[in-house]
Structure 1
Amino acid sequence: MITIKVNNQFKEISENSSVAHLLHQLAQPEHGIAVAINQKIITKSNWESQFLNQGDDVLIIQATQGG
């Protein structure tokens, strides 16, 4: 297990977890979100291949509608 920070909350996840795996574990939608790791945006096409490391700081931003 490794410890990462997701939106300022510490989470323990399995080693060799990808961004896609994390989003699935957190029940996050695939559309309308942006993901950054250590302040670097990860494009959706890289979610399967981008693996998380001990101490990573993950930010998940949900798009909202408003006016």
Structure 2
Amino acid sequence: MITIYVNQKEVSLKPNTNILQLLQSLNSPLQGIAVAIKDDIIPNANWEKHLLSNQDQVLIIQATQGG
């Protein structure tokens, strides 16, 4: 198992888990969000390719409407 932090909360995952799998395991919406790892935004086209590493700091941001 690896340990990552999602919005500062500890999460344990199997090794070789990608961002898409993480989002699915968290029941997160896949539209209208942005994902950053170590302050780098990961484009949603790369979510399946980007494997998470032990101690990664993941930030999931939900887009909101406003004006």
Q: TM-score, structure 1 length as denominator?
A: 0.96
Structure 1 segments of 4+ aligned residues over 6 angstroms from their partners = none
Aligned to 2:36: 36
Indicate the SS of the match to 2:31: coil
Give the distance between the partners of 1:16 and 1:31, measured in 2 at CA. Answer: 23
Structure 1: unaligned runs, 5 residues or longer: none
Q: How big is the alpha-carbon RMSD for the aligned residues of Structure 1 and Structure 2?
A: 0.7
Indicate the SS of the match to 1:64: coil
Aligned to 1:62: 62
Written as runs of structure 1 = structure 2, the 5 A alignment for 1:1-67 is 1-67=1-67
Indicate the SS of the match to 2:20: helix
Note the C-alpha offset of 1:66: 2.8
Note the C-alpha offset of 1:26: 0.4
Count of aligned pairs: 67
Structure 2: unaligned runs, 5 residues or longer: none
Q: TM-score, structure 2 length as denominator?
A: 0.96
